[in-house]
Structure 1
Amino acid sequence: MVHHSLDQQELKKIKQELTQEFQKLDMPYSLTVSIGYSCGNVYSEETIKKVFQEADKNMYKQKN
């Protein structure tokens, strides 16, 4: 497992760059991308679940 330490600003920038790259694709159909992210210190299974739940919640916020 690779461990990367990114802060909220870095994650937001990566999300924006990925979204822009998807928008550049020339496809014969419409494509949308929703990306959820979260930051946290993950030391236990419970905190892993909380980080994933927050990322999932953030993804659905972006969809709406």
Structure 2
Amino acid sequence: MLTDDIQQELLWAPMLDARHVTVHTNGPDVSLTGFVSSYAHLARVREAVRRRLGARPFVCELAGC
């Protein structure tokens, strides 16, 4: 499943604490909610999701930075 794939990518990503990031999918649409501690973590989350999705757009609603 897409949700599981993205969650695994976030957990695997080096130097990324994604414990407070929740992945939501509705068909091909992906959104992220939760909390990150810095802009660097936000960038790493986005990179990790792009590795899994490729060029497809996604919604990133992460707070804390």
TM-score range, shorter chain: 0.3 to 0.5
Normalized per residue, which structure has more helix?
1
TM-score norm. by structure 1 comes to 0.36
TM-score, normalised relative to structure 2 = 0.36
Larger Rg: 1
Point out the structure with the larger strand share.
2
- Higher RCO (C-alpha 8 Å, min separation 6): 2
